[in-house]
Amino acid sequence: MPKRKHVKIHGHRVSYLAEGEGSPVVLIHGVTGTCDQWAPVADLLSERCSVVAPDLLGHGQSAKPRGDYSLGAYASGIRDLMVGLGHERVTVVGHSLGGGIAMQFAYQFPERCQRLVLVASGGLGQEVHPVLRAATLPGSELLLPLIAGAHVYNTGAAVAGLIERAGLRAGPDIAEMVRGYGSLADADTRRAFVHTLRSVVDPMGQRVNATDRLYLAAGMPALIVWGRRDRVIPVSHASVAERGMPGSRLEIFERSGHFPQLDDPLRFSRLLADFVESTDPADLTADSLRERVLAGSPGR
């Protein structure tokens, strides 16, 4: 299994899983998630790649400072972690919020991004689950301690258990929702959650949209993975990403929801490893990015 390690970046503790040798791949989780959501995939993928899966700041065992929880700050944090670990260029894989961070990483640091993989990614349309929209409302900070209380957490875990005892499969969506609620019982985590969510979502839905910049990924190998039954971010957003990045690959997991990597880690890890091994890494520079920005600007 991947080993959990810790490092200090800018004075803040960053916890991460690391294992394997070969082409470096960084796996970025979503909001209220942790690197443990990647553990089954990281274990399998490490047979063919060098895998790093961090707990983002404000999540899991990483520090939860009062600070910047924007996509740009997270992307810079991923860059700094990779520099600290000696990985000059990486394949960046992002799930949900992590997809937005992955796109931001590719945009901010094109010379460090070999490939881009989006998994049920945010940042590709306005639609998002109503619970996430509600969590951005004014005063939500006062209600979250009630939502994240032990009673609600235990009730959610009990419901998941009843589903499984009835012979049905609760699935990773319910399990991860319960874990996510549980993490918000901690005040520092809750504060980071609110800051993070409000940076990308408002009561109307997702307010950060990368579709007008997807053309910047031209020439970068891109893979898009989605679950057909996703109720958090609709699968229709996958087609938006595919159209915006000509030459990208789209893989739909028909029986999966918002966590295809947990629903079928074997299929996911094989798909990702094959993608890495069958594509040549992008070789983009700041100058080439500048040329694309100017060429793609309105009026040019």
Question: Which residue carries 């040019």 as its tokens?
Answer: 300
User: Do residues 193 and 31 touch, judged by C-beta distance below 8 A?
Assistant: yes
Where does 67-126 have alpha helices with state H? 71-85, 97-108
183 is catalytic: no
Q: Is 296:289 a contact under the CB 8 Å cutoff?
A: no
Going from the C-alpha of 86 to that of each of 81, 168, 222, the distances in angstroms are 9, 45, 23
The answer to whether 297 is a known catalytic residue is no
Burial (0-12, 13-18, 19+ Cβ within 10 Å), 278: exposed
The single residue of 23, 258, 264, 269 carrying the catalytic annotation is 258
Catalytic member of 230, 256, 264, 269? 230
Catalytic residue among 15, 50, 96, 183: 96
- CA angle, residues 156, 185, 170, in degrees to nearest 5: 20
Give the span between the Cα atoms of 116 and 282, in whole angstroms: 10
Quote the CA–CA distance of 118 and 113 in Å, as a whole number.
13
**Residues near 21 by beta carbon (within 8 Å), at least 6 away in sequence:** 50
Catalytic: 96? Answer: yes
Instruction: Return the active site residues.
Output: 96, 230, 258
